[in-house]
Homo-oligomer: A and B are copies of this chain.
């Protein structure tokens, strides 16, 4: 007889604060954050996670919590977990850690989530110049389906996934991160320093001790101080995986993570009930608390065997993912295109970011013809299972990006049709809208010259 139920290696209680959990959480990447538990190769185990904000966003009727959200406090991760083989020998630097997602979902009793855009002065989002307000939509789950009182007329099955899954960096890799991001923050690239001024947000978020949570390292100790000053923020995805936000990384998927420290020190967090490619509104998935049931395998020497460094050191590697057959499938898609000409009509050069921005804007405007507000469409495209593709990246000067939306998530037929089309909006009665705060800042009077922002 096998043990029937996965061992819960990291429990969380969503009624408690992140720093009150039985096993302490962390919100930085650093090799010296101690493992909170051991897991053994082949064992199926369960990790529970608070939502990325640790409960600071409420299931209520206001977006004020979003507007004032302190973004230095992101993301609360569960772990690190030290991975050992069946003989007790830990994963070693140079190994590859295979993490299979056997199951996952919302935490029982906490079956809801939210999608939001930040205020332009506090975080912004991919389209913040168009949508400067803080907004929020609440989603409720009916089993595998999500629906929102703030975005009526859509209901879709979730492709739940962890936004963040990563191993701890080595000290050497951490230094590489800090140096390259500091260089960007301080000197920018191209015109980007100008952009920072216009956008009110830094080009990179450098280490800071502010709101730093380091698991079992007590705040205020010298050890805490040292690590807090060095530890990398969790916002971007990097060589260790991290915040990669791959929307299909759901049940049955596998992640192959490079191992940089003994034991691998695996951390997970930022659970999403569903996300669109790009997670465009920034707080853009259906953010929730949740659980993962995982199984690990150590591929000894797998980094050398399977990964090729792409940069000055052997540490410049990337994880690999394997998407399995177990996911919702859609048959029909409506596809919006963007080219790398920005909203001012200016031509950029093979810039996929500009092209994708255009594709998303085109889709938002299209959906607004079916009774949705543009904010509703923006949040929806951020969290529904839409696909963002780089369709053409070589035909100068235009990159072509596409955004494909599965048509069956809507309760109306959203395809273009001839005849019988009412002149006005298709939905005439007043529908609920997203929760919204006012924007108190100024919008740039001239078009932002930075195509890629």
Contact = CB atoms under 8 A, between A and B. Distances in A.
A433 interface: no
A328 interface: yes
A359 B320 CA distance: 10
Contacts of A96: 416
Nearest to A422: B305
Contact of A332 (B111, B189, B325): B325
Contact of A320 (B335, B356, B452): B335
Interface stretch (A15-23, A260-268, A275-283, A438-446): A275-283
Contacts of A109: 4-5
Interface stretch (A28-36, A213-221, A222-230, A307-315): A307-315
A243 B350 CA distance: 13
Contact of A325 (B282, B316, B321, B408): B408
B356 A353 contact: no
B341 A392 contact: no
A281 B392 CA distance: 10
11 contacts: A2-B149, A143-B293, A183-B347, A236-B396, A243-B400, A245-B392, A316-B341, A323-B333, A325-B332, A330-B331, A331-B408
A280 to B, nearest CB: 6
Nearest to A353: B352
- Chain A interface size, under 10 / 10 to 19 / 20 to 34 / 35 or more: 35 or more
A239 B339 CA distance: 8
- Quick one: copies of this chain in the complex? 4
Nearest to A95: B418
A273 interface: no
Interface stretch (A62-70, A76-84, A383-391): A383-391
A453 interface: yes
A197 interface: no
Contacts of A114: none
Contacts of A102: 142-145
Contact of A279 (B103, B321, B392): B392
Contacts of A143: 6, 44, 101-104, 251, 293
Contacts of A299: 416-418
Contacts of A356: 352, 390, 393
Contacts of A398: 236-238
A321 B142 CA distance: 19
Contact of A396 (B235, B325, B394): B235
A131 interface: no
Given A248-B335, A352-B352, 5 more contacts: A44-B143, A201-B396, A297-B418, A307-B366, A322-B333
A334 B387 CA distance: 17
